[in-house]
Amino acid sequence: MRLRTNISLWVSLATVLPLTVLVLLVTGYSERQYSSDRDREIGASLNTLVAEIDRRLMFEREVISALVESAPMQAFQSVLSQARDGHKHPQFNLRAAQLGIFLEEFTALIPDVGTIRVLDVRGNTLLMIRDRQVMPTHYEGMDPYPYAEEELDDEAFLQRLRSSPLGEVSYQLLPESRSDYVFGAIPPMYDAVVPIEREGEGVVGYLLANSTGLQIERMLELAPRLSEGRLTVAELNPDRPDREGLILFDEGSGLLFTHGKRPELRLDTLFGTRVANTMATRPFGATDLTTRPSRVYHAEYTPYPNQLASWLVISEVRHDAVTAPFKRIRQGILLLAALALIASLLLAQVSARRIARPITRLAHNLKAYARGEPLERTEPHGTQEIRQLQDSFNYMAETLERARRDRDEAQHMLVQSAKLASIGEMAAGIGHELNNPLNNILSLGKLIRRELPAEHTRLREDVQSLMDEAQRASRIVNGILNFARQVPPRYEAIDVRPWAEETLILVNQAAKAQEVTIRLEVEEGLMMEGDVHQLRQVLINLLLNAIQASHPGDEVLIMARHEADGDIYFCVCDQGTGVDPDILDKLFDPFFTTKPVGRGSGLGLSVSLGIVERHGGHIDIRPNEHGGVTATVRLPARQVQGKREKGKGMGAEA
Ligand code: ADP
């Protein structure tokens, strides 16, 4: 796998995994937190509703118990007392009419109170107000009283009446014939009962009031709905199986509180048995429905102080209504997370490329270098470690390069030395052979000059030139012999300028013939140490080569100076034909020449090389910007002293 892919894969994994886990954890936690907040909120709103219903029922109870204390009611007590004894009160009609008017007005003011009945101790209804008016007499009893409802001989009912606690409002269900809900309809609420006591006589009758439930219905209708909640009120009644689970109010099926109840509409038919049982066994809580995607919240409330019956106030909320806001938040979080992911993946790509690029380039360079291509230096960039790596590579490559150069140079010198040694032997033989004829020429020259009369000036000069040339040839032969014998230099101090000028005289002839001018630029007072003859030989060789390569009218420059490190540097620079780069390596080979036969021996540069190297120096030939060649010689300054001592010793030996 490529490094870039590898890095971006790991960086991506390192960002994607934690980010995904984080997003899942955050959304999961927030969702749980959000739904538990919703549960709490809906539960609290149900409790508020229950508290309001409780306040309303309490108010009704207070009003009904106050009714018993009212003046018309007090006045009616004597009628009830007479009735208990089987007598008809002389002012029955008047008092009943007064109480009737009072109760009519009362029910007009408190519309919640539907029907009010005033019963004697035997349970007969002496007065009944319904729909805000006194009901006409319905039945003439055995007693002198006319009754508003049919007399009912129901001992159980009478028992319940008699057991009603004194001085407070209690609740019970009227027998069906006295109920306002007939024909099988089930009344929504129990009736309120207050025993009527007469001082000194005890209970003389009962005041019964049934609530229409109108106010409770309004409260339920107006109760704030959380998340489109649907309200339901059901009755739990362990005493009355016919009312157990009865639905008193249900928005879903349009059943209002004031309606007569439908026996088939029960808690379990609406919500399923499991949820109905759960709700029936816990006073409050929240349960998910299995039949619909909803959650039901319920709070239990006991409306009747003396009854076991209780109401379950239920709010059904659709899941999506609860989770809709959170879904939007989650979508937002997921979208942001996705954007963050894409951004981090892109960043991973970019950074992987940034990290991998220098390494890839380095690897490429290494391969290229291993294939033998020239070293391509890379500027260190990237992270610190990569920069160090690049630095190390550059250092290694440079060290190798240097080592290779040193090795090549050493090899070259070895070959050169071998060549010099082999030609040295040959040159020594030739030198010996040439030396004798040259000595003969010189001796004969001396004889001829001595014999020649003084007036033959011209001839004498020619003979002198002949002898000079023979002497030069002899010196060359000696030079060859020296070269062949590797004669160590005889060191002495050389004043460079006069030394160079003297040397120039020797090549003057050749320069003139080639129409070449020679310019000398020597640092003022420049001194060097070395073998004056050997070094002159070098300069002559370089100058002759330069002159021979020059075109007529060209200039040859000799420059000599001190280098900063004290080395002596001199060069011979011409504007001549130049040298083919392909043969640069061979120039110092013995007998290598490009000159026509008879003009060049191919020994000049190899002899010069031998001399310079024995001086511990360096000689080089390079093309220059004038199209010609610059031959440079560099002689070490510091070794001069040592070499001189050594040279002197050896010279003395020679
Ligand atoms: P020779 O001069 O006898 O040929 P050298 O050893 O002096 O022998 O020179 C070897 C070769 O180097 C020459 O034949 C020539 O090709 C080349 N050479 C040396 N100096 C120069 C120069 N200044 N310009 C051009 N070529 C040169």
Mutation to probe ligand 1, out of 605, 622, 626 (largest number of atoms < 8 A from CB): 605
Q: Is the dihedral of CA 564, 570, 576, 582 positive or negative?
A: negative
Distance 219 CA to ligand 1 centre (A): 124
591: left (phi > 0), else alpha (psi -120 to 50), else beta? left
Question: To the nearest 10°, the Cα dihedral for 374, 379, 382, 385?
Answer: 70
Element (H, E) at 409: helix 384-451
Q: Which atom of ligand 1 is nearest to the CA of 594?
A: 14
Ligand 1 site, residue 545, Cβ cutoff 6 A: yes
The beta strands (E) that lie in 340-491 are given as none
Regarding the beta carbon of 516 and ligand 1, being less than 6 Å apart is answered no
Residue nearest to atom 14 of ligand 1 (CA): 593
593 within ligand 1 shell (Cβ under 6 A): yes
CA atoms within 13 A on the CB side of 481: 14
Per-residue buried b or exposed e for 135-159, using 16+ beta carbons within 10 Å of the residue's own CB = bebeeebebebbbbbebbebeebee
Atom of ligand 1 nearest to the CA of 600: 3
Q: What pLDDT was estimated at residue 394?
A: 82
**In contact, 115 and 149? CB cutoff 8 Å:** no
Q: Is the CB of 594 under 6 A from ligand 1?
A: yes
If one residue of 419, 423, 545 were mutated to test the ligand 1 pocket, choosing by the most ligand atoms within 8 A of its CB, it would be 545
The pLDDT tens digits of the residues spanning 298-320 come to 999 999 998 999 999 999 988 88
Q: Is the CB of 579 under 6 A from ligand 1?
A: yes
Closest C-alpha to ligand 1, atom 26: 579
Distance from the alpha carbon of residue 594 to the mean position of ligand 1, in angstroms = 7
Q: Which atom in ligand 1 lies closest to the alpha carbon of residue 544?
A: 2
User: Which structure tokens are listed for 10?
Assistant: 């790991």
pLDDT given for residue 654 in this prediction? 23
Q: What is the pLDDT of residue 643?
A: 42
pLDDT for the residue 431: 77
User: Ligand 1 centre from 600 Cα, in Å?
Assistant: 8
Q: How many residues make up the chain in this entry? A: 654
* CB burial of residue 616 (10 Å; 0-12, 13-18, 19+): middle
CA of 602 to the centre of ligand 1 (A): 7
Atom of ligand 1 nearest to the CA of 590: 6
Q: Enumerate residue ranges in the chain where pLDDT < 50.
A: 639-654
Distances (CA, A) of 293 to 314, 325, 329, 358: 16, 16, 21, 59
**Going by CA atoms, what residue is nearest to atom 12 of ligand 1?**
587
Q: Measuring CA to CA, which residue among 618, 652, 649, 650 is closest to residue 632? A: 618
Q: Are residues 313 and 46 in contact, defined by beta-carbon separation less than 8 angstroms?
A: yes
The rounded Cα 565 to chain-centroid distance in angstroms is 57
- Farthest-apart Cα atoms in the chain, separation: 209
Query: What pLDDT shows up at residue 639?
Result: 47
Which residue type does 500 have?
A: A
Torsion angle of alpha carbons 409, 415, 421, 425, nearest 10°? Answer: -150
CA-based angle 616:619:623, to the nearest 5? 165
**Alpha-carbon distance 464 to 445, whole Å?**
8
Centre of ligand 1 to C-alpha 608, Å, is: 12
The strand pairing partners of 197, in sequence order, are 203
pTM above the 0.75 mark?
no
Burial of 34 (0-12, 13-18, 19+ CB in 10 A): middle
Burial 310-328 (b: 16+ CB within 10 A, else e): bbbbbbbbbeebbbeebee
For the CA atoms of 341, 342, 346, 351, the dihedral, rounded to the nearest 10 degrees, stands at -10
Which helix (H) or strand (E) element contains residue 261? Answer: none
CA 264 to CA 277: how far, in whole Å? 17
**Residue 78: how many CA atoms within 13 Å on its side-chain side?**
10
